[in-house]
Homo-oligomer: A and B are copies of this chain.
């Protein structure tokens, strides 16, 4: 968390200047981790506004041109856009350039990028566990990553010095680092994030119009992540479909156990199930819990 005297990277390019990309850019500038930050995207008007707002130092709509000048590129795009964009950028990269992403799925991307990158150009997947249901760089924050966890998912062929360099970068942004295989990552986040999104969305869909005025803070919290951008979430759920389906089934078993106990009016079974959920929830700590209202 200490400010390095010399920037870790001279030029950093963020591809996709939205909430996450914008926050990486801001955090890297504020912490002096990169001397110069380029934002890449398709919409020059939006990028110019982001530059004017101080999110990036410079913007570029030509990905390869930016790649040629960068030591590190971060792809903050929907997961179904990462592979093609990384391949495109890699063509323009000098040897020694590191590419990573911030996507919520890792296996399919790692598989598709395991070959065919130019020699000396390395892609290693990253997943900083931070975000919001809000989209756009207007919501970017330099402290978005403070105290959060970042998973890096190297594969067998990943050079160890490049893994270290990537780990150093995310650590400097304030993240606590974990390393997992892409497959272990996808299995775990199905449980911690993807299934909860399926659940929140399903719960939101059960609300009848006439009951809307009775939906208070409990309903609002439980369904908050159902407001996530579908362009982000449908590709995530599709890329991790098998793990998500298994996770949904495990969840459905838990719901069914409670339902059965309720049918039997089995107070001790209900209490035991409730206590287990309560205990696990409490061990998750205060993250995300709000002041009473």
Q: Mark A182-226, 1 if CB is under 8 A from B, else 0.
A: 000000110111011111111111111011111111111111111
A193 to B214, CA, bound (A): 8
Enumerate chain B residues within 8 angstroms of A273, measured Cβ to Cβ: 201, 205
A208 to B197, CA, bound (A): 17
Chain B residue at minimum C-beta to C-beta distance from A127 = B214
Is A56 interfacial (CB 8 A cutoff)?
Answer: no
A267 to B129, CA, bound (A): 25
Given contacts A211-B188, A214-B151, A282-B227, contact A132 B293 (CB under 8 A): yes
A203 to B244, CA, bound (A): 13
Verify B197–A218 contact, CB threshold 8 A: yes
Verify A224–B222 contact, CB threshold 8 A: yes
Decide if the interface of chain A is mainly helix, strand, loop or mixed.
Answer: helix
Is A52 interfacial (CB 8 A cutoff)?
Answer: no
Partner of A215, one of B192, B203, B211, B274: B192
Is A284 interfacial (CB 8 A cutoff)?
Answer: yes
Enumerate chain B residues within 8 angstroms of A200, measured Cβ to Cβ: 222, 277, 281
Question: Which A residues, 143 to 192, have Cβ-Cβ distances below 8 Å to chain B?
Answer: 144, 148-149, 151, 178, 188-189, 191-192
Verify B230–A271 contact, CB threshold 8 A: yes
Is A83 interfacial (CB 8 A cutoff)?
Answer: no
Interface size (A, Cβ < 8 Å)? 95
List the number of copies, as a whole number.
Answer: 2
A236: min CB distance to chain B, Å: 11
A175: min CB distance to chain B, Å: 12
Enumerate chain B residues within 8 angstroms of A267, measured Cβ to Cβ: 234, 238
A149 to B293, CA, bound (A): 12
Given contacts A199-B203, A277-B226, A288-B224, contact A248 B244 (CB under 8 A): no
A263: min CB distance to chain B, Å: 6
Verify B220–A289 contact, CB threshold 8 A: yes
Verify B238–A219 contact, CB threshold 8 A: no
Is A9 interfacial (CB 8 A cutoff)?
Answer: no
A210: min CB distance to chain B, Å: 8
- Other than the given A192-B216, A218-B224, 17 more pairs (CB < 8 A) read A129-B216, A149-B214, A192-B215, A199-B203, A204-B284, A205-B254, A205-B277, A206-B250, A212-B283, A216-B288, A219-B288, A220-B289, A224-B288, A227-B281, A230-B275, A237-B262, A252-B252
* Chain A residues within 8 Å of B, Cβ to Cβ: 19, 129-134, 139, 141, 144, 148-149, 151, 178, 188-189, 191-193, 195-208, 210-228, 230, 233-234, 237-238, 241, 244-245, 247-252, 254-255, 257-259, 262-263, 265, 267, 270-271, 273-278, 280-285, 287-290, 292-293
Closest 4 A/B residue pairs (Cβ): A220-B288, A132-B292, A201-B277, A202-B254
